[in-house]
Amino acid sequence: MTLPFLKRLRPENYLSLVALVVLFILSSLASPYFLQVQNLLNILKQVSYSGIIGLGMAFVIIGGGIDLSVGSMTAFIGAIAILVVNALGGGPWAITAAWLVALALGVGAGLFNGAVVTKGRVAPFIVTLGTMAIFRSLTLYIGNAGQFVSQSDLYGNMGMSSLLGVPTAVLVFFGLAFLLSGLLNRTRYGRYACAVGSNEKVARYSAINVDRIRLLTYVITGAMVAVTGVLLSSRLNSVNSSNGAVNFEMDAIAAVVIGGTPMTGGRGTIWGVVIGAIILGMINNMLNMLSVSAYLQGTVKGLVIIAAVFIQRGSSKAARS
């Protein structure tokens, strides 16, 4: 017998939650240190940075696109934020200016990606593959392939700050998830984004401005990248031009897919992204506690992504039948 409210839920909407619960139980059995409060907070802190990007990436994928440039963009924006802080003396006004410059760069980069995709009619994969190389190259050039180091202790303190023991990055992550969940589920824009990703032609016939909707998905992602760029660079008080935020695009996309959003677009949930990010963090944490080689963690992550796609395909076929 199936409860009525479960019939209204897509399997992918709760399978990720079931996976999180199962993984939580297995991790607590695998290591006595897993349930320590500090360890759980560390997991949340680690996943917050790529998770914030994943919140924006969800809009892009739901709208039928993809963005591979987010990792390189994070490093570039974080580096520029540090340069601004150093140039203005490292005080509170310098940090405020760094935030404003970072957000402007993130929105501008998102506008560029979105404009080339929508107005230039170039495939999102190609556009963002190109900008991924551009942002990384610019970061390497400006930093002479070295590190950008902040001279402000205040900037570093911001990245390491917490409220009632909860790291600031975690609070920002969940706060943005709450806001963007409302944007996706309770606004006309959210409904239009799903419509565009589901069937672009039907959306155009329904008088939806497809280009504008899709452009805004990249702008949202750019803004989320800017937030991560500042938070990550302030946490480390530096940015490495060669490997800063490397593979963040993979982590963000993985969180979206594991959270139940299909790569074909058309539907998805923001809180699913949060769950997907936490699942990835718990997997990495468990592998570290079991002393599994760090070089194998990418293999595990890739297998998890593939498994999530197969589960989505199976649930979609079951729903149609």
130 part of a folded domain: yes
Domain range enclosing 107: 37-312
249 part of a folded domain: yes
24 part of a folded domain: no
Residue 58 has pLDDT above 70, yes or no: yes
Grouping H, G, I as helix, E, B as strand and the rest as coil, residue 132 is helix
- If you average pLDDT over residues 297-320, what whole number do you get? 72
List of residues 6+ apart from 57 with CB closer than 8 A:
67, 70, 221, 224, 252, 253, 255, 256, 273
Alpha-carbon torsion, ordered 68, 74, 80, 85, to 10 deg: 170
159 part of a folded domain: yes
pLDDT confidence bin for 3, thresholds 50/70/90: very low
Q: Are 279 and 16 in contact (CB under 8 A)?
A: yes
Residue with tokens 């498994």: 307
Residue 6 has pLDDT above 50, yes or no: no
| Model pLDDT, residue 291 | 81
- Residue 60 belongs to domain with CATH number: 1.10.3470
Q: Minimal CA–CA distance to 192: which of 59, 316, 319?
A: 59
Q: At what angle do helices 168-186 and 37-62 cross, to 10 degrees?
A: 30
106 part of a folded domain: yes
pLDDT confidence bin for 294, thresholds 50/70/90: confident
Residue 9 has pLDDT above 60, yes or no: no
pLDDT confidence bin for 13, thresholds 50/70/90: low
Q: Supply the Cα-derived Rg of the chain in whole angstroms.
A: 20
| Model pLDDT, residue 7 | 43
317 part of a folded domain: no
- If you average pLDDT over residues 180-195, what whole number do you get? 96
Number of domains in the chain: 1
- What is the per-residue pLDDT across 210-248, written as a single tens digit (0 to 9) for each? 999 999 999 999 999 999 999 999 999 999 999 999 989
Q: Are 215 and 111 in contact (CB under 8 A)?
A: yes
- If you average pLDDT over residues 178-183, what whole number do you get? 96
| Model pLDDT, residue 264 | 87
Q: How far is CA 138 from the centre of its chain?
A: 22
Q: Minimal CA–CA distance to 137: which of 75, 228, 179?
A: 75
Query: Which residues in the chain belong to E strands, given as ranges?
Result: 147-149, 162-163, 166-167, 238-240
pLDDT confidence bin for 313, thresholds 50/70/90: low
Distance, in Å, from the CA atom of 69 to the CA atom of 113, rounded to the nearest integer, reads 9
9 part of a folded domain: no
Least confident of 129-133, 137-141, 203-207: 203-207
pTM for this model (two decimals)? 0.92
pLDDT confidence bin for 19, thresholds 50/70/90: confident
170 part of a folded domain: yes
